[in-house]
Structures are given as structure tokens and as C-alpha cells.
Structure 1
Amino acid sequence: MSSFKYYRDVIGSLWEEYRVIRAAKSDSRLTNNNLPSDIQKLRCRACYEALRFAPQIEAMGKLLVERMRSYGHFIALHLRYEKDMLAYSGCTHGLSNAEAKELETIRDETANWKVKEIDATEQRYRGQCPLTPKEVGIFLNALGFPSETPIFIAAGEIYGGVTHMADLRSRYPLLMSKENLASAAELEPFTNHSSQMAALDYIVSVESDVFIPSYSGNMAGAVEGHRRFLGHRETISPDRRGLVHLFGQIEKGLLKEGSKLSNRIIEIHKNLQGSPRRRGGSVPGTKSMESTHSEEAFYTNPLPDCLCQRASQTVNTSIRESNRKLDRSMQKEQLLLLKVL
């Protein structure tokens, strides 16, 4: 990430000279905090109001949302249990030796991935691994979501396919995806374009009743931020580090699924549901680029920059009121965390 001064002085001078600038992969290159208000407001308008997907993508995304709605209120689950994600992160929990070896080979042979040697167990207990499909099933069950809850899987091809999805599907049979909501002919214009397929997942995720990412990443953060802008729609962010210790106790036979586990998971996540809060600044004691990199991303939490304020009201008061109105119907359907139990 670069400071505002860099864009003003360096990029500004290039603009004066060339009048055309191509910015590659610049989604998170601008620092998140301590920018002029007009710059922040421009980011809000560009990201959430001006930018649009191509009409054919918008239309297909809307169609997928409508088809999910036919099943009732639904969860969009961003399940990052894909081969490239697991290879990059070095996460192998629940995989066979052959699968773990395959991922290690991919990591070794990918030149631009600098870290080759990764302790998978240590990585997992630091909360740096995506939840497995089985762990997601335990998590959803503990939160009180009934087995008939429709779930849209926002992801590419899940590593291990049917085998690794079996436990989650046994708990939640209504697992849907682009591929079984739309025909091959309907998806054909997008199939060979991974970014367009991801855009369809993005649209459905933003419009879902509840959004749950199994791993923090660019798309998960962007969806969360967009949902915050639209009224702090329910977004449950799993505390992976806390959950892994609970899952470890289950595997060792020290803890069973049931009310005790449910109460502990609910307690951990009572403040991780997308409720209004100001964006986090840099970690105290850090300096320069380290300080900038430790900031919470603007696109994950655009509060307070993207919300208007009145002199007589605080930001949080106005957001809480809009959030209560938005969530009232979902409370009746028993799909909101904590309200159910």
C-alpha cells in the first residue's frame, strides 16, 4: 500500500506528463486511513455506485439470486477449499498423504510463491488455514442453522470434490452452486473466464441473507465491505484460530458436539456478525510500510467514510437503526445468529 503523498507527488507528476496512466492490480495499493475526506468519498462512490459488472454478468447474477430465493432465505458460503488456495497456504489438515504431497509439489513448482516450507499444523493453529467443509458443517450446526437451510457455495472446484464435501452435505443437503442453479448453456458465456465466474459468486454473496467466508481474502473482504455499505447485512466471520482449538478437542474426544460446543462458538462470534464498527487503524508501535500494511482494509470496512453523518447523530446510532430494520424479516425466519438460540 502507498501513502496519499506518493499518489499526489509521483503519480501526479506522471499524469501531468503523459495524461494517461494504466494502474495494474491497484485494488489495495492506496493506504486505508488518514486520507482527505474527498478522496475517501470518491472511493466509496466509485466502488459501490459507479462501478458495475457488464450487463450479461449482472443479468446472470440476478437470475442466480432469484433461483436461490425460491428456496427461501439462504446463506452464501465462500468456501476457499480449492486446490490453489490449499497449496499456497500449505494447509493439509484432513487430506490424505497423496493429496498433501500433490499440494506440496504445486507450491514448490510455482515460482512466484516465495514460501516453500510450511508447517501445516502450526499454520492451522495460527488460524491461517481455510476451514474444511466438515469444519464448516460443525460451525453452522453449532450456530443453530437448521439442516434445511439453503446454502450457496461461492467457490471454484472444491479440492477432493464429493469426498471432502460429504460431511457438509450430510448436514446441509441443500447445497447449491452456479453449476446446479443454471444450465450449462446459460453458463457457457462465462465458463472459460474465471473472473466472470467469480463475479457471479460475488453478486449472489452480496445479495444473500447471511454471508460466511471460510477464509479471509480479497473477495471475502470485498463482499463484507459491500454488505456493510448496503446496511451492515449479516456477515459472520469465523474466528478460525479459536475454532481450530475447539475442533482439535472434538478430534481428541475431549469435547462433543452439542449445547456446550454451541454456547462456546456463539460466545466467540457474538461480535463477529458484521455489526457497525469503525475501521481498525494500524497496529500500535509499527512504523512506515509495516504500519500501513497492518491497517484494516478500506474495502473490508468502509465505515465511517461511506456513510453520511448529521451533527446531532453519531455514525453508530444511525447504522444500528438501519440494521434493525433490515434484519427484522430474517429474525422471524430464525436465521440470525444468537436470535435463534
Structure 2
Amino acid sequence: MNLYEKCTSDVAQILRGGTLFVLLVLQFPVLFPHFFGLLSHAASSKPSEWNAVKPRHLSLLKSAVQRSSGEQSDLWRPLTDQGWKPCIDPGNAPSIPEKSEGYIQVFLDGGLNQQRMGICDAVAVAKILNATLVVPYLEVNPVWQDSSSFVEIFDVDHFIDVLKDDVRIIKELPEKFSWSTREYYATAIRETRVKTAPVHASANWYLENVLPVLESFGIAAIAPFSHRLSFDHLPPEIQRLRCKVNFRALRFVPHVRELGDALVSRLRNPSWRNKEQNVDHLTDITNSHSRQEPGKFVVLHLRFDKDMAAHSACDFGGGKAEKLALAKYRQMIWQGRVLNSQFTDEELRSQGRCPLTPEEMGLLLAALGFDNNTRLYLASHKVYGGEARVSALRQVFPRMEDKRSLASSGERARIKGKASLLAAVDYYVSMHSDIFVSASPGNMHNALVGHRTFENMKTIRPNMALIGQIFLNKSLTWIEFQQKVGEGHVNRQGQIRLRKPKQSLYTYPAPDCMCHV
């Protein structure tokens, strides 16, 4: 019996045991990680879903593959000075009070970038309460099963040092509070746990509901904590502190930065690799090519995993087998509670609610002016459909690279199988690219758009509604397609957009964390 059959058999036994248990597993995956894994694996791709997919835009694809070479100077030109600069260090900030009100713990779920935003909020809450923050606890992600801790992802000493004048931060609780653990709060109701924090809670909510717990017990554990601090009606110094954490204090561990630097060096100096050279026998090329003129490269964050594809309820050209598999997955994971499923594929696409496939992203980038010599780095955890789905993108950009093609197996060993560290490497490379493009909005997209805005770096944001409507027109010529894409993205290449009420500070750092000069 193979792994797929074993998982399917196990899930069948679970189902016979009662629907209630299945609902509990789906509702509280952290409490039942093993069974959630079985359900997810049983709903994962069968071989029929990984068959070669015919191009959906064959005529455009042929034109894109045959397009002429020659980099577009305007495309690669850095952003001009937009009159904004980072503004996060107030000159006369008040010092930390001598006495702390107690210890704050937070337990963060989600992937790397959701946890990143939670860390920033945790520092802000500690500041609001004049509390000592314990280095945040990162929950095991039920989908990716990554158990990496804060200190395995982020440089904890740098984190504490950068914020030492703003907030007290400790790596571990004192011995008298060592009982306050994730396991302690998972087994019963505890007076020191705060689990009623509303989404986007105000500063006053924490002063009224968490400060009394600190004053009574000396410690408060807040779980769940993701998205538990408002983006509005907070003092300017708190907003700037959140940005200081995000853009200055959160630095990846050295081995992630070293691998990221190696990948960036190889992207900028592509002659490092002899065509016949085996990637598993790489040697350090940094010095041997240091005198070369560094090349430019673009990062594409391709967010096209099975969760995204299924939840979108869109048709991606994989035929009946794919439609059935995605429908079953939707039913198992979300019990059919997917709003998009009541709309037709055409309606969803015209509204920009369908994630772009690798083929569509290749056509979009080609239409924007990236030629077939472009060095393209693919930042993606797992593409739904595998290489069969990616092949059209590779035809358009034959010099496409990723972590596997650029790094040896030895170099990848320390991040292998660890989704958060894999994402950290992609994040690092993305922040060092000349241009960043994301296939569709999400936590990675939002985090990088905000970070690159803060640093005034070029970032192309696809106009999803426009692109969806363009792809519905099957009669467009390549010239017409190029023209429509170009016109629709003139002002979507990193221009400053001021944050509006309720929008995330981490995606729109101006004007809260940037000054107009």
C-alpha cells in the first residue's frame, strides 16, 4: 500500500468514526495536526491532476516565445525619488520606564509573513502596556508542518538590540514563570491566558483587558494573536515602532542571509555556471566574478498552490479531472463554504478574482517588456500541477531560476523541508532584486510591497481585474495585448500609495512611517 492509499484508508476510518470529529479536526487543526495532515494529504493531487496542461492562450504564447531580445531601459530604470523617506526614529522618544508591568507572551499562527506582522504587533502591544515581551512563540503551521522557532528564522540578538531603547525583550521567562507554556494553555482554561482579543483591537482594549491581568499575575499570554491590533487611531510613535520592527529589527539568521547572498550573486553573474557543470558540485564564485558588471534580475512570486487554486473556484484548463479534484478539495477543507463557487469562471476572471497561472504570468511579464534573456527568479513554495504547469513560463523565460537550480543540495540542506526558511530565502532574494512582481495578493505580496515601498524599490503590481478581462478576449493580437497590458500598468510600478483607513501599515507604510520631504 503506497502513501496515498494509506492516507486515504486512514481518512476513511476517521470518517466512519463520525462527522463531528472531522469537523473538529478542520476547525482546530493545531490540536489535531496528525489527522489534519491525513485529510490534507488525502485531498492532495492525484496523478491525473499533474498531466501536461494545454496552453490556454496558445497564440499569445507563440508570440511571446518568439519576441525579440533587447532589454527595455525604461523597465529596468530604478524608481525616481518620490519625495518620501523612511521616518521611524523620533529624536526625543521617551525612555523605557524603570518598572515593567509584567511579561507578555504571544502565540502566532499562520505562515512566515503573517507571523512577521504578528511579531510587529506584539512589540507594539508590549510598548502600549509597558510590559516585557517574551520572544514570540511560533505555532506549527498545520498545512506546511513547519516547527521552526523564532530563533531559527530571525536573528534574535539583533532583534533585541535594535529595540532595546523601545521595549524590554527577553528570550525566556524567569524561572518563577517557567510554567507558562503552550502546553499549559492547551490543556485547560487559565486565568493568565487572554483569548478574547478582537480582530484589530484598539490600544484602549489592551489597557482595559490585558493590563489588569498583568497587574494581578505578573504575566499574560495572548492567544490567538494574529491581526489583533488596529491599524488606526494609534499614537504616531506606536505606528513608527511597528515599522521599525518590521523593516529594521527583523533580520533573518546568518545562514539564510548567506544563502540569499549566494543566490543573488549567481543571478547577477550568470556565467558562474558552466553549462556542463553539475549544480551539486558548485564552488564559491563570488570572488572569481567580482570584477564583472553585475546583471539585473526580476523576482516573480508565483502564488499558485492547490489551496489558492481550489479556493478561487476558477477554471485553470486542466479538464474534468482537475475540476473534480479541486471541487473535492474545496468540500473537504472548507465544506463548500467558498463564496466564489457561486460565480462562473468568466465572472470571476472579469472581477480579477482568479490567481494568474504560470502561463499567464509569463505572458504578462513578456508584454511588460521583459525579454527572453531576462534573469527571472521564481519565488514559490509549490506550484499546483508541478513542472507541467510551469513549462509554459519556462518557454517564455528560458533563463528562469529558483532555489533548486541555483543552490547545491548541500547549500539547501539547512532549509530543506522547512517552509518558513524556504520563504525567508525567497523574501531575502526578493528584497535584493531590481524588480519584484507578485502573481496575486497575499501575505508574501503584502509584506514585500510594503518593505520595497519603504526602501523606494520598483515593484510591479498586476492589475488583476484588467488582466482577467484581457485574457477573456481570445481574439487579441500580441501587439494589442502588449498595448493593453502596458497602459494598465503605467502607475503600478512602485509609486507611493498613502494608507487609507483599515488598510495595513505593513503594506502601506506612508504616511505613518515615512516623511514627505
**Residue equivalent to 2:503:** 296
Contact 2:416-2:422 within 8 A present in 1 as well: yes
Match of 1:233 among 433, 454, 457: 457
**Residue equivalent to 2:252:** 53
**Residue equivalent to 2:238:** 39
Contact 1:88-1:113 within 8 A present in 2 as well: no
CA distance in 2, matches of 1:236, 1:133: 16
Residue 116 of structure 1 deviates from its aligned partner by 7.4
Q: Which amino acid aligns with 1:49?
A: R
Match of 1:115 among 338, 350, 356: 338
Q: Equivalent residues in 2 for 1:235-314 (5 A)? A: 235-249=459-473, 251=474, 253=475, 255-258=476-479, 260-281=480-501, 295-307=502-514, 309=515
TM-score calculated relative to the size of structure 2? 0.54
Distance 1:221 1:186, change over 3 A: same
Contact 2:202-2:233 within 8 A present in 1 as well: no
Contact 1:126-1:241 within 8 A present in 2 as well: yes
CA distance in 1, matches of 2:217, 2:494: 42
**Residue equivalent to 2:409:** 184
Match of 1:68 among 243, 250, 267: 267
CA distance in 2, matches of 1:17, 1:194: 39
Distance 1:22 1:206, change over 3 A: farther
Q: Which moved more, 1:25-34 or 1:68-77?
A: 25-34
Residue 2 of structure 1 deviates from its aligned partner by 2.2
Question: SS where residue 191 of structure 1 aligns?
Answer: coil
**Residue equivalent to 1:220:** 445
Q: Equivalent residues in 2 for 1:134-145 (5 A)? A: 134-145=359-370
- Figure out how many residues of one structure are paired with residues of the other and give that number: 292
Q: Which moved more, 1:110-119 or 1:204-213?
A: 110-119
Match of 1:93 among 313, 316, 340: 316
Question: SS where residue 210 of structure 2 aligns?
Answer: helix
Residue 20 of structure 1 deviates from its aligned partner by 3.6
**Residue equivalent to 1:286:** none
Q: State, as a whole percentage, how many aligned pairs show the same letter.
A: 36
CA distance in 2, matches of 1:11, 1:124: 45
Distance 1:256 1:196, change over 3 A: same
- Residue ranges of structure 1 left out of the alignment (5+ in a row): 282-294, 310-314, 319-341
CA distance in 1, matches of 2:231, 2:511: 12
CA distance in 1, matches of 2:224, 2:253: 19
Rg larger for: 2
Residue 30 of structure 1 deviates from its aligned partner by 1.9
TM-score calculated relative to the size of structure 1? 0.80
CA distance in 2, matches of 1:279, 1:39: 16
- Residue ranges of structure 2 left out of the alignment (5+ in a row): 1-199, 271-294
Question: SS where residue 94 of structure 1 aligns?
Answer: coil
Q: Which moved more, 1:62-71 or 1:270-279?
A: 62-71
**Residue equivalent to 2:350:** 125
Matched, 1:8 2:233: no
Q: Which moved more, 1:114-123 or 1:90-99?
A: 114-123
Contact 2:368-2:485 within 8 A present in 1 as well: yes
CA root-mean-square deviation: 2.0
Contact 1:107-1:116 within 8 A present in 2 as well: no
Q: Which moved more, 1:81-90 or 1:7-16?
A: 7-16
Question: SS where residue 189 of structure 1 aligns?
Answer: coil
Q: Which moved more, 1:86-95 or 1:212-221?
A: 86-95
CA distance in 1, matches of 2:488, 2:442: 21
CA distance in 1, matches of 2:451, 2:430: 10
Contact 1:108-1:116 within 8 A present in 2 as well: no
Residue 225 of structure 1 deviates from its aligned partner by 0.7
Contact 1:213-1:220 within 8 A present in 2 as well: yes
Q: Which amino acid aligns with 1:30?
A: L
Residue 23 of structure 1 deviates from its aligned partner by 4.4
CA distance in 1, matches of 2:463, 2:340: 25
Q: Which amino acid aligns with 1:304?
A: P
**Residue equivalent to 1:146:** 371
Residue 27 of structure 1 deviates from its aligned partner by 4.8
Contact 2:300-2:438 within 8 A present in 1 as well: yes
Distance 1:280 1:139, change over 3 A: same
CA distance in 2, matches of 1:191, 1:114: 34
CA distance in 2, matches of 1:159, 1:68: 25
Write out per-residue CA displacement over residues 19-53 of structure 1, whole angstroms, 9 at most, x where no aligned residue: 44444564533222331101001101111111222
Matched, 1:104 2:327: yes
Q: Which amino acid aligns with 1:265?
A: V
Higher strand residue share: 2
Distance 1:7 1:61, change over 3 A: farther
Distance 1:170 1:206, change over 3 A: same
Contact 1:92-1:120 within 8 A present in 2 as well: no
Distance 1:4 1:128, change over 3 A: farther
CA distance in 1, matches of 2:374, 2:393: 12
Match of 2:386 among 146, 158, 161: 161
